[in-house]
Amino acid sequence: MTRDELKALIRTVPDFPAPGIQFRDITTLIADGRGLAASIDHMAQMAPPDVAAVAGIEARGFIFGTALATRLGLGFVPVRKAGKLPVETIAMDYALEYAEARIEIDPTLVSAGERVLLVDDLVATGGTALAAAQLLRQAGAVCDHALFLVDLPELGGADRLRDAGITTASLMEFAGH
């Protein structure tokens, strides 16, 4: 499937979660077997050749990150919401639009100097992805590439990641928020 065909599988829900927001609902793409498989194939072609692991951000980054890791024959590092891992973790706080959030990883899942590709379904403001990259770096990983299914470029997240030294790519873009 082409990128345009994949983009057509993503449903836009107007005024969710607030008036004026155009929510890009990827569940319609992941429910389509051909679309999901083609998305992973495209993302695999976009992945840098020298990564040793894939890290995915909870929750939808788990879908694309795990599938991509499997496709590339690599391990998967989950970046979890606070309190979800049963072992000692390292954590990073970051700002949301109206609140703060916290993500965690098990630092034993990455080795010093290991190249880790960060994956999520969508980049908007980039706050979560930037926090995840910083957390992976704190654990000793080299995290200088991020890959997303969707970019909302008007929100500036991909630019924010690039400013932090992270090469960023996405399978498709949508205008607006």
Catalytic positions are 60, 97
The pair phi, psi for residue 134, each rounded to 5°, is -65, -40
Q: How far apart are CA 65 and CA 125, in angstroms?
A: 20
State the burial class of residue 102 (Cβ atoms within 10 Å of its Cβ: 0-12, 13-18, 19+).
middle
Q: How far apart are CA 64 and CA 6, in angstroms?
A: 14
Q: How far apart are CA 174 and CA 28, in angstroms?
A: 16
